[in-house]
């Protein structure tokens, strides 16, 4: 009974994720199509020959009515064919897939790094808020939380050039990942610290302490089990934040990710490429939100029984 309700919940979340992706991709397609100018506008300014322009329009399918274009694109989508990019002259699917993997790698590594650094430090500083270690962690977190990725990248770049501690060559992964992860790690540390401090005073931890459970076990297992809930709750927003931040990081460090591709696509009015980028980004976000939802179900039995 409860099991089928849980399965139903998971199925509903998956359906919502698919709907999210479709809405984002379709909106992007229609927005680009309805915005002034198309992929031929640039050509019109450079080449005045109407025949060339008409031929290019026909080749790109821009002479068809909106409904036909949209329908064709949807049919293609069902075959994982996202059309041809007008700026790169290559199939959108392969272009977007490569860039999506790069951005996913950047954001994924940043998320892992931020979690591995931020959460343990947060548990520690929340458990003993008066120790000098906790106070210095808090101060450092406050400073780093005020460094958004665009600033963190510039400062790290400067430090890297001055000291040579990090490679600044294009394609080196450490600098962009650290720059993207730093503010998120600081944010997770603060959140976890507050949550841990609250959990340490809860009745269940008090009861466990009364049973004679050692204090390190209380901090790291008993209190952490309940204090993780608010932190996992913000993971959906964290993913969106990482994505937003990745645009600046990718541009400054020359990382060939989805952000830069989207920028080029929008500027070139590359209809299929913009839609493809939107689709890819939406897939990544929907997948991570779904993962965060499932994680929340896994760690919080109350949510499972509510289903």
Partner 1 sequence: MIRRRRWAMTAGGILTVAIAVAAAGAPFLAPNAPHVQFEDRLFAPPMPLHVRGHSGLAAPFVYRQVLEDRVGRRFRADVNTPVPVRWFSGGHLVSVPSGQEPLLILGADSLGRDLFSRLLFGARRSLAVALAGVAGALVIGALVGGFAGSQGGRTESTLMWFSDFLLALPGAYLVLVLRGLLPPVLSDWEIFLLLASLFALTAWPHAARGVRSIVSVERARDYAEAARALGAGPFRQFLHLLPAARGFLAIEVVLLVPALLVAEATVSYLGLGFPAASASWGTLLQDAANVTALTEAPWLLAPAASLFLVTLGLHLVNPERPETSPRV
Q: Which residues in this chain contact partner 1 in the complex, by CB under 8 A?
A: 20, 23-24, 28, 31-32, 35-37, 138, 141-143, 145-148, 150-151, 154-155, 157-158, 161-162, 168, 184, 186-187, 190-191, 194, 197, 234, 236-238, 240-241, 243-245, 247-248, 251-252, 259, 262-263, 266-267, 269, 274, 278, 281, 285, 289
Backbone region of residue 83 per phi and psi (left: phi > 0; alpha: psi in -120 to 50; beta: other values):
left
Q: Residue 118: name the closest of 63, 190, 46, 180 by CA.
A: 190
Residue 238 CB, shortest distance to partner 1, in Å, is 6
31 vs 116 by CB, closer to partner 1: 31
Give the count of alpha carbons within 13 A of 171, CB side only: 0
99 vs 190 by CB, closer to partner 1: 190
Residue 72 CB, shortest distance to partner 1, in Å, is 21
77 vs 191 by CB, closer to partner 1: 191
Q: Which tokens is 246 given? A: 């990745």
252 vs 307 by CB, closer to partner 1: 252
215 vs 267 by CB, closer to partner 1: 267
Neighbours of 166 (CB within 10 A): 16
Residue 180 CB, shortest distance to partner 1, in Å, is 12
Q: Which tokens is 28 given? A: 């992007």
List the beta strands (DSSP E) in the chain: none
77 vs 231 by CB, closer to partner 1: 231
201, with CB counted inside 10 A (0-12, 13-18, 19+), is exposed
Residue 30 CB, shortest distance to partner 1, in Å, is 11
Q: Tell me the C-alpha distance between 76 and 93, whole Å.
A: 11
Residue 249 CB, shortest distance to partner 1, in Å, is 10
What Cα–Cα distance (Å) separates residue 221 from each residue in 194, 224, 294? 16, 5, 21
Q: Rounded to the nearest 10 degrees, what angle do helices 92-127 and 224-233 cross at?
A: 140
Q: Which tokens is 33 given? A: 């199509």
Q: Which tokens is 35 given? A: 């915005």
Residue 168 CB, shortest distance to partner 1, in Å, is 6
Residue 215 CB, shortest distance to partner 1, in Å, is 21
Asked if 144 and 170 touch (Cβ cutoff 8 Å), the reply is no
Asked if 192 and 174 touch (Cβ cutoff 8 Å), the reply is no
Residue 93 CB, shortest distance to partner 1, in Å, is 20
Alpha-helix residue ranges (DSSP H) falling in 79-148: 92-127, 132-145
12 vs 217 by CB, closer to partner 1: 12
Name residue 91's beta-bridge partners. 84
125 vs 224 by CB, closer to partner 1: 125
């Amino acid at each position: 009974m409860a099991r089928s309700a849980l399965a139903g919940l998971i199925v509903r979340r998956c359906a919502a994720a698919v709907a999210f992706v479709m809405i984002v991709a379709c909106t992007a397609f229609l927005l680009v199509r309805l915005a002034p100018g198309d992929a031929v506008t640039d050509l019109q300014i450079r080449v005045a020959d109407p025949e060339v322009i008409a031929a290019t329009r026909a080749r790109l399918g821009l002479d068809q009515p909106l409904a036909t274009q949209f329908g064709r694109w949807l049919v293609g989508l069902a075959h994982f064919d996202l059309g041809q990019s007008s700026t790169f002259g290559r199939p959108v699917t392969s272009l977007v897939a490569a860039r999506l993997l790069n951005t996913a790698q950047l954001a994924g590594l940043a998320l892992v790094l931020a979690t591995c650094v931020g959460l343990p430090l947060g548990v520690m500083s929340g458990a003993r808020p008066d120790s000098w270690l906790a106070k210095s962690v808090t101060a450092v977190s406050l400073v780093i939380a005020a460094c958004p990725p665009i600033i963190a990248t510039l400062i790290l770049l400067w430090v890297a050039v001055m000291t040579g501690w990090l490679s600044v060559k294009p394609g080196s992964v450490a600098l962009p990942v650290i720059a993207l992860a730093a503010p998120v790690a600081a944010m997770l540390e603060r959140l976890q610290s507050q949550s841990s401090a609250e959990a340490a005073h809860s009745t269940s931890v008090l009861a466990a302490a009364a049973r004679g459970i050692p204090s390190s076990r209380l901090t790291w297992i008993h209190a952490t089990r309940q204090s993780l809930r608010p932190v996992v709750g913000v993971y959906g927003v964290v993913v969106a934040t990482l994505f937003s931040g990745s645009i600046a990081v990718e541009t400054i460090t020359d990382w060939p990710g989805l952000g830069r591709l989207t920028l080029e696509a929008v500027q070139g009015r590359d209809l299929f490429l913009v839609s493809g980028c939107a689709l890819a980004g939406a897939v990544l976000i929907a997948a991570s939100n779904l993962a965060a939802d499932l994680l929340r179900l896994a760690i919080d039995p109350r949510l499972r029984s509510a289903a």
